[in-house]
Amino acid sequence: MYYSAGSETTQPLPEKEIVDTIQTQYPGKVTNVSLAQDKGIPTYEAELTGEKKKFALQLDATSGKVLDLQETEELPDGAKKQEESQKEDSNEVSTPQDNLYHEAGNSKEEKQDEKEKQKDHAKDEKHWNENYSENQESKNEQDSDQTTDEDKEKQDKKSKPVISEREAIEKALEQFSGNVDDVDLEDDDGRLYYEIEIERGDLEAEIMIDAYTGEVLIIEIDD
């Protein structure tokens, strides 16, 4: 991660070069690239879509250096695959006869599936009613033990981060080199992360690292 207080040249770099610069540093798809002004300095703003998250980037328009990177959205699991699947389906050419065939076939399959589900549900309900009285007490005890174990596992996970403080510092220094001023382990609604402050000259960076995965969540650089 780099930061520049001013432009190295007076003319903004081409948009294509900015896109190439982002993609060489971060995996994902770059979209919505636009030229703007930040305190009189020409900057490029862009969106980066990774496999699981979206990020907003700000770059120096004349040098291509990344000034800011922040997470904007967490994508649901499988969203990317579903999007690709929808694109593939939209590229296929179908005839009216094909559509009629698929609709009829799907209707029959849906009705058959619904009948099978109703039969299975009736069998399960009958079996459950027959065994409910004699097994209820034992089941309640097992559920209580299981709930206790699950709660304990969640508590252990919250109190024991996967990565150490040293590992978190190393990951932070990969993003912004300097002297580590402060390291705190924070808990935000059950999510543990390291908050690391690094100083370098007149610059100060605050970097948040996920304590479980080691993922860089937020980078903020102040002068």
Class of domain 1-89: alpha beta
Structure token pair of residue 24: 């060489």
For residue 49, what are the β-bridge partners?
A: 29, 54
- Taking the C-alpha atoms of residue 112 and residue 118, their distance in angstroms, rounded to an integer, is 10
Report the candidate in 19, 88, 118, 93 with the shortest Cα–Cα distance to residue 59.
Answer: 19
- Residue-wise pLDDT tens digits, 73-90: 888 865 555 566 666 665
122 or 48, which is more confident: 48
Q: How many Cβ atoms from other residues are within 10 Å of residue 101's Cβ?
A: 12
DSSP label at residue 78 = T
| CATH 3.40.35.10, applies to 161-223 | no
Identical fold at 1-89 and 161-223? yes
194, 209 Cβ separation under 8 angstroms: yes
**What b-and-e string marks burial along 11-31, b requiring 16 or more CB atoms within 10 Å of the CB?**
ebbeeeebbebbeeeeebebe
Q: Which of 62-66, 143-147, 187-191 has the lowest mean pLDDT?
A: 143-147
Highest mean pLDDT among 1-5, 28-32, 139-143: 28-32
Q: For the chain, what are the domain ranges?
A: 1-89, 96-159, 161-223
Please report the beta strands in 15-64, taking only residues with DSSP state E, as ranges in sequence order.
Answer: 29-38, 41-49, 53-60
Structure token pair of residue 83: 């999007």
Phi then psi for residue 117, to 5 deg, are: -65, -40
pLDDT, residue 7, reads: 40
In this prediction, residues 107-132 reach a mean pLDDT of: 71
